[in-house]
A and B are shown apart, each in its own frame.
Chain A
Amino acid sequence: MKYPLTIAAIALAALMPPAEAAALRESGDPLDSARWSEMQKAFLAGAPVLFDPRVKVIAPSTAENPMQVPVTVDATALPGVAEVVVFADFNPIVQVLRFFPEDAPAFLGFRVKLQQSTPVRAAVRTADGVWHVGGTWVNTVGGGCTAPSAAGGSKEWQQRLNEVSGRQWSEGPNAGRLRMRIVHPMDTGLVAGTPAFFLEEINFADAAGKRLMRVQTYEPVSENPVFTLQRVSADGPVEATGRDNNGNAFTARIDQ
């Protein structure tokens, strides 16, 4: 597996700006995390891996609120993205989410709960089966996964569970953007007496029923998740459908 990847890396490097090509590497975690080899085994087992600067993971270097750490994954510089898996090496629940861009570019913004300082990474599988990995360290005081959700303190969310609000932008600097918020406690199951209760799947489709993106979410996604997607063009309403691990389903239309 090593040899063909090296060929691929050389070929890729030739097409990239020199600074990015210099950052391209097959081994040696650029984030220098003690858990990288475990992560690689768990998520990318057996497949060729390339640390690739074209996978951009944007997050604050210091998180003010460990319950709501904004993360933006932008893999739009890579052609042929089939799947993106996001994980945080040192979180008690490592896997954050997976997304499968179909008719929408490989771009997703969301927020995550972090328990301690950790790399946050995106591994992007392209059509040729190679995982392109990008990431960044986030420093945090922690407590994000074992602190109770705000919903735990009130009963109001039960009436508003899966309530969706959202908007699309068809003009201006963010034309094509879609933002959506869902009311959900996203309980991790790590707080005593509160079982895991979280959204598992969200699908975005255009007015013609064509799927833009499928997102699989896990416990570390923040309470009342907010997602940011980028469409090629904001053409008509988007239908968002999804469900949580208790089978509560939702369907919502997001207009412009």
Chain B
Amino acid sequence: MKRLLGVLLLLAASQLQAVDFDYRLSARPIAENVYAFIGKTEDFTTDNGGNIVNTAFIVAPQGVIVIDSGPSLRYGQQMRRAIAAVTAKPIALVINTHHHPDHFLGNQAFADLPIAALAETRDGIAADGNAFAENLYRMSGDWMKGTEVQLPGKTLSAGIVEVAGRRLRLVALDGHTGADLVVVDATSGVVFAGDLAFNGRAPTTPHADVAHWLKALDQLEALTREAGFNVLLPGHGAPSADAGPIRQTRAWLTWLSAAMRSAAKDGLDMNDVLARPLPAEFAGLPVAASEYRRSVGHLFPAAELQALGAKP
């Protein structure tokens, strides 16, 4: 009996260990003095706790610049500890690239520091932040414990800024959301693309304007052709030494919007569109099937309006 109890206790202990809410973040150097935490190319689950996103930091001469804060309070706290393990310099600024929850819900862990975003991103977080957080509690479970929305207190605008002794170029684009900030660090040659670029994972479209997004991708690709370009860090998926993630994202969006248009033109109903198989080119892409289904909900109604001759 005692032995049985012992085994049961051991089992219980090993189960506890499986859910220790440790994201196991380890800073990966992607260029000199630039590090990233690379998330999984998955959807939010209670296993990954929302660690499906890339966040990053630059060790500048007088401090650290953090780019995106992750999906939860715990992530933000663990990120802060992981940064402290790399450098003793203080954090000078946290930047949120756009208003999606996996990119800003770690802000709380940096509440004592300046947090900045584009004006539309701040507005988006203020308007939708709580609903996003609620949704992540549903999908990621207890990993989210204690997470609340922390609004960025500072507003950024496009142009050159100097932070902690580092000159950064802020490029304000849109298309993935209403405001997508790209940060170009000329010193290291890193382009922080945010969710304008996905690598090896199907893009998400809940607030997308595909035409704008495609235009933004052209501008983003131009940045990778500039002298000194070194690494592109997408919002999801591995960093890249070339514009590959941009081309992947463009190919998906181009196919997706053409597919919605032709489906609507052919008289398909939304359920017919959902039932369509993915083309071979994208069938193997992680989370392609689920993102396609979501995107039909986001994008088909507009294509349908056009096909039915309705005013938008």
Contacts and interface: CB of A to CB of B under 8 A. Distances in A.
Interface in B210-252: none
Contacts of B272: 72
A47 interface: no
A71 B274 CA distance: 11
A165 B270 contact: no
A70 interface: yes
A243 B296 CA distance: 30
| Chain B interface size range | 20 to 34
Given A68-B297, A70-B271, A165 B309 contact: yes
B297 A64 contact: yes
B267 interface: yes
Nearest to B139: A141
B269 A169 contact: no
A165 B310 contact: yes
A209 interface: no
A173 B266 CA distance: 8
A250 B308 CA distance: 17
B135 to A, nearest CB: 7
Interface string A48-82: 00000000001110111100101110000000000
B81 interface: no
A172 B308 CA distance: 17
A65 B272 CA distance: 17
A253 interface: no
Given A141-B138, A165-B310, A70 B269 contact: yes
A181 interface: yes
Best-surrounded residue of B267, B310, B311 (most CB of chain A within 10 A): B267
14 contacts: A70-B269, A70-B270, A70-B274, A71-B271, A72-B271, A109-B269, A111-B270, A165-B308, A165-B310, A167-B267, A173-B266, A179-B269, A181-B310, A183-B310
Given A174-B268, A179-B304, 10 more contacts: A64-B294, A70-B270, A70-B274, A72-B269, A109-B270, A163-B311, A165-B311, A167-B307, A181-B308, A226-B308
